[in-house]
């Protein structure tokens, strides 16, 4: 049984006052960190920080959508989860394209800014992940929130490692490699969300087909 109070094969759907409060807090934190990291990434010339900032933006939108669809039909929740999965895939592709472009641009990012902002972002994302931990096994809509939060924490650890590596190697390659790995993580999470959402959409179609036609 998960910590959300659901058991058996029943998926937690987010209909909980405590879960909604958690989402509001996390939306505010992620929106703030998007602004902080994007400004820092531009100042430091770091693709990894910019990639992580885009992840914060994506999460802000994801959590907002997740809050909006709570209590609505399974079909709508699954459809929104599909949109979030597609947005994650587009974000991953965008970060990968920007990383490839950056390979041909000279300049080493500022490892000090990367490290300081990376630690700040890590603290925020660990807090978000802990708040969401008990809700990680819900439906596609709820699970997408957990996966985004988990991705953030992993990404921040990677940014910190990249900052240390940039300082040691005096090259931009660690920053670029981390940005590419984060892109792959976005794409992997997108596939997971899309698969679960597709299964839920099939389930609603099967139920509708099984119901007797109204006279």
Helix segments in 1-139, DSSP class H = 17-44, 47-69, 74-103, 111-132
Does residue 199 lie in a domain region? yes
The pLDDT of residue 191 is: 84
Do 41 and 131 form a contact (C-beta atoms < 8 A)? no
Instruction: Quote the number of domains for the chain.
Output: 1
Lowest mean pLDDT among 24-28, 53-57, 88-92, 100-104: 100-104
189 exposure class (CB count in 10 Å sphere: 0-12, 13-18, 19+): buried
The pLDDT of residue 146 is: 79
What does the block give as tokens for 202? 């099939």
Q: pLDDT digit string (tens) for 139-165? A: 777 777 877 777 778 777 776 777 677
Does residue 156 lie in a domain region? yes
Does residue 6 lie in a domain region? no
Does residue 189 lie in a domain region? yes
What does the block give as tokens for 199? 């299964």
What does the block give as tokens for 175? 């920053």
C-beta neighbour count of 205 within 10 angstroms: 11
Name the DSSP letter for residue 70: T
Whose structure tokens read 């972002």? 121
Does residue 38 lie in a domain region? yes
Give mean pLDDT, residues 124-132: 87
Q: pLDDT digit string (tens) for 26-65? A: 999 989 989 998 888 888 777 767 777 877 887 788 788 8
Q: Shortest CA distance to 184 belongs to which of 99, 124, 61?
A: 99
Q: pLDDT digit string (tens) for 68-84? A: 888 878 788 888 878 87
Does residue 10 lie in a domain region? no
Does residue 118 lie in a domain region? yes
* Residues 164, 170, 172, 177, CA torsion sign: negative
């Amino acid at each position: 049984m998960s910590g959300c109070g659901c058991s058996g094969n029943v998926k937690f759907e987010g209909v909980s006052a405590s879960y909604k409060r958690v989402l509001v807090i996390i939306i505010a934190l992620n929106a703030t960190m998007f602004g902080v990291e994007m400004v820092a990434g531009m100042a430091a010339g770091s693709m990894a920080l910019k990639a992580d900032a885009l992840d914060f933006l994506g999460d802000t939108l994801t959590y907002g959508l997740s809050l909006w669809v709570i209590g609505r039909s399974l079909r709508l929740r699954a459809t929104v989860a599909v949109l979030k999965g597609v947005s994650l895939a587009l974000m991953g592709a965008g970060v990968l394209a920007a990383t490839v472009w950056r390979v041909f641009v000279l300049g080493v990012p500022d490892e000090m800014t990367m490290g300081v902002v990376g630690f700040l972002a890590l603290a925020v994302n660990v807090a978000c992940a802990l708040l969401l931990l008990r809700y990680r096994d819900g439906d596609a809509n709820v699970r997408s929130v957990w996966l985004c939060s988990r991705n953030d924490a992993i990404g921040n650890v990677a940014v910190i490692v990249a900052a240390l590596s940039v300082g040691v190697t005096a090259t931009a390659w660690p920053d670029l490699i981390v940005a590419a790995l984060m892109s792959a993580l976005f794409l992997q999470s997108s596939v997971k969300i899309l698969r679960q959402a597709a299964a839920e959409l099939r389930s609603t179609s099967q139920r509708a087909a099984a119901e007797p036609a109204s006279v």
